[in-house]
């Protein structure tokens, strides 16, 4: 006769397994306790910060006494001459501190504005590195516009004004920085495609150039630009090469 199957017997963990379970439980408890301590510390810090902020808001600024008020206090016997002098010194320190704080805030604001103008100028220099080369074509254009602006507005009064004038001169010479970046990228892409081979238009005739003086490499460059549709024809090339901003030309003598 087959033996009846009873309920499976639960296996009792061995001593090593029991010890491991206890250690795991203790480790979890330790982590939970540490998390609780960290949370309590964070709450305490937040409470202290809130209290400090409330005290700062609730504390009124110290009264500023005039000399007449201090003299009256001396007559009333509430303070003496030494205390009056001390009060005046403390008031002067607070006043100087307030002025210095305001000056520092203005300096920080001016520095921020100066950084913005410098960033605009850097955009031009990034796409036209020859702006840093004395005597280069782009450098000469920028210098001409700067001189024209100086003739109209006068020489800049300080370094920041000079930086602003430089940014305006670059814009007058080459257009907005975003357009300069786009135009330079398009030219670079066309140059790369042209250099990879393939047929193109023939070199321009003397009649097409219409008196425009270009080197062989410049002729090849602008020929590729026309082939790529970046310029309609050689008249469009001449218009860009000979471009002079109208607004600035009015101020030139």
Task: Say whether 119 sits in a helix, a strand or coil.
Answer: helix
Is 3 inside a domain boundary?
no
Is 84 inside a domain boundary?
yes
- Looking at residue 9, what DSSP letter applies? P
Place of tokens 């305001």: 102
Is 232 inside a domain boundary?
no
* Integer Cα distance of 42 and 75 in angstroms: 53
Range of the domain at 86: 67-110
Q: Phi/psi of residue 226, each to 5°?
A: -65, -40
Q: Sign (positive/negative) of CA torsion 65, 66, 67, 72?
A: negative
Q: Which residues contact 222 (CB under 8 A, 6 or more apart)?
A: 204, 214, 231, 234, 237
Per-residue model confidence as pLDDT tens for the chain (253 residues): 444 555 555 556 566 777 777 777 777 777 777 777 877 787 788 788 777 776 665 567 778 888 888 889 889 888 898 888 888 888 887 787 777 666 666 666 666 788 888 888 888 888 888 888 888 888 898 899 899 888 988 898 888 888 888 988 888 888 888 887 777 777 666 656 555 544 555 666 666 666 677 777 777 777 777 776 777 777 887 777 776 655 444 444 4
Q: Indicate the number of domains in the chain.
A: 1
* Integer Cα distance of 175 and 243 in angstroms: 11
Is 2 inside a domain boundary?
no
Is 7 inside a domain boundary?
no
Q: Which residues contact 158 (CB under 8 A, 6 or more apart)?
A: none
């Amino acid at each position: 006769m087959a033996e009846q199957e009873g309920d499976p017997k639960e296996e009792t963990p061995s001593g090593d397994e029991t010890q491991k379970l206890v250690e795991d439980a203790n480790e979890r408890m330790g982590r939970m306790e540490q998390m609780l301590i960290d949370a309590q510390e964070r709450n305490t810090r937040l409470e202290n910060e809130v209290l400090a902020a409330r005290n700062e808001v609730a504390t009124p600024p110290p009264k500023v006494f005039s000399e007449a008020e201090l003299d009256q206090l001396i007559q009333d016997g509430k303070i003496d001459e030494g205390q009056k002098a001390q009060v005046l010194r403390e008031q002067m320190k607070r006043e100087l501190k307030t002025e210095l704080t305001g000056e520092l805030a203005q300096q920080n604001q001016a520095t921020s504005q100066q950084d913005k103008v410098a960033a605009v100028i850097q955009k031009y220099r990034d796409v036209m590195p020859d702006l840093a080369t004395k005597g280069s074509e782009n450098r000469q254009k920028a210098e001409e516009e700067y001189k024209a602006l100086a003739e109209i507005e006068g020489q800049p009064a300080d370094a920041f004004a000079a930086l602003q004038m430089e940014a305006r001169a670059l814009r007058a010479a080459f257009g907005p920085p975003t357009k300069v970046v786009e135009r330079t990228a398009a030219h670079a892409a066309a140059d790369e495609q042209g250099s990879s081979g393939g047929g193109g238009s023939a070199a321009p005739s003397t009649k097409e150039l219409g008196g425009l003086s270009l080197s062989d490499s410049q002729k090849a460059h602008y020929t590729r630009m026309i082939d790529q549709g970046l310029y309609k024809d050689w008249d469009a090339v001449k218009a860009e090469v000979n471009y002079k901003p109208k607004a600035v030309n009015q101020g030139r003598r």
